[in-house]
């Protein structure tokens, strides 16, 4: 068993070491006041989240407003702040030591709701990584997180999400091929540091221009999400790898 941390920050730093993967990673920093304001001024919107959480818990979006104020969104709740001091005070109260801040990706949307994708990458002992399934998670109304339980969102096929998004004019086969390619490169980069891991659930996204992004990598992904798809063959395939 590896002693290496499985936190979001550690996995991000490992992925960043790959020149080929850097273009697919949102710029991310350990949460400090200086890093927060640098990224917010650079991208106009940032996400802050705890490094050890899952299920969308603790994820907050902050964006600069045109009137020089700031809007914060936590779940479906929104707050407005008029100055930096108010934002700093909120962050000190709301966040602990183990938080990261990253650029907010303008996710592609289905009916105005952002979606991302869970890509399952698995391997048998001593064999190469394979993509065994993928689905799209569409956020519930008013939410920025796509976690199904938290936002009352829905699961659809990736093909369905593409077809009903800003990406519908692009070739679906090309988008899916790029998704698989980046997912497999991610698993190949992380695999040697976590040799005990045989299953990865990689959360990925398309922005509104069709660029692929790596959001985070889970080593204990919830397989039952795949039961929400009409076609259960992906779930059976994933489970067959899991058992072995």
Q: What is the pLDDT of residue 75?
A: 73
d(CA 117, CA 96): 28
Among 134, 112, 105, 137, smallest CA distance to 122 is for 134
Q: What is the pLDDT of residue 103?
A: 94
d(CA 231, CA 34): 47
Two tokens at 176? 């899916």
Domains and CATH numbers, the chain: 28-103 (no CATH), 107-243 (3.30.470.20)
**How would you write the pLDDT of the chain (244 residues) with one tens digit per residue?**
446 787 889 999 999 999 999 999 999 999 999 999 999 999 999 999 888 755 556 788 899 998 789 998 887 788 899 999 999 998 888 776 789 999 999 999 998 888 999 999 999 988 899 999 999 999 876 555 555 454 456 899 999 999 999 999 999 999 999 999 999 999 999 999 999 999 999 999 999 999 999 999 999 898 988 999 999 999 999 999 866 5
Asked whether 157 and 95 are in contact (CB, 8 A), the reply is no
Bridge-partner residues for 78, per DSSP? 73
How far CA 219 is from CA of 5, 58, 223, in Å, comes to: 12, 19, 11
How far CA 154 is from CA of 145, 223, 226, 240, in Å, comes to: 12, 15, 11, 25
């Amino acid at each position: 068993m590896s002693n290496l941390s499985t936190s979001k920050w550690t996995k991000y730093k490992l992925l960043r070491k790959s020149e080929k993967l850097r273009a697919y990673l949102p710029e991310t920093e350990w949460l400090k006041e200086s890093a927060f304001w640098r990224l917010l001024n650079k991208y106009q919107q940032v996400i802050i989240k705890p490094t050890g959480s899952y299920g969308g818990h603790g994820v907050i979006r902050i964006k600069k407003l045109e009137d020089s104020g700031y809007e914060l969104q936590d779940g479906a709740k929104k707050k407005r702040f008029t100055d930096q001091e108010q934002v700093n005070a909120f962050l000190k109260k709301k966040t602990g030591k183990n938080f990261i801040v990253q650029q907010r990706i303008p996710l592609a949307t289905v009916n105005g709701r952002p979606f991302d994708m869970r890509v399952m990458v698995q391997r048998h002992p001593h064999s190469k990584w394979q993509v065994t399934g993928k689905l799209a998670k569409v956020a519930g109304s008013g939410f920025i997180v796509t976690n199904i339980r938290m936002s009352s969102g829905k699961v659809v096929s990736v093909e369905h999400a593409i077809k009903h998004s800003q990406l519908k004019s692009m070739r679906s086969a090309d988008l899916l091929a790029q998704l698989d390619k980046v997912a497999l490169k991610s698993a190949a980069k992380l695999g040697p540091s976590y040799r005990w891991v045989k299953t990865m659930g990689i959360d990925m996204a398309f922005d509104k221009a069709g660029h692929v992004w790596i959001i985070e990598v889970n080593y204990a992904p919830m397989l039952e999400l795949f039961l929400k798809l009409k076609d259960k063959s992906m779930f059976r395939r994933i489970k067959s790898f899991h058992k072995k």
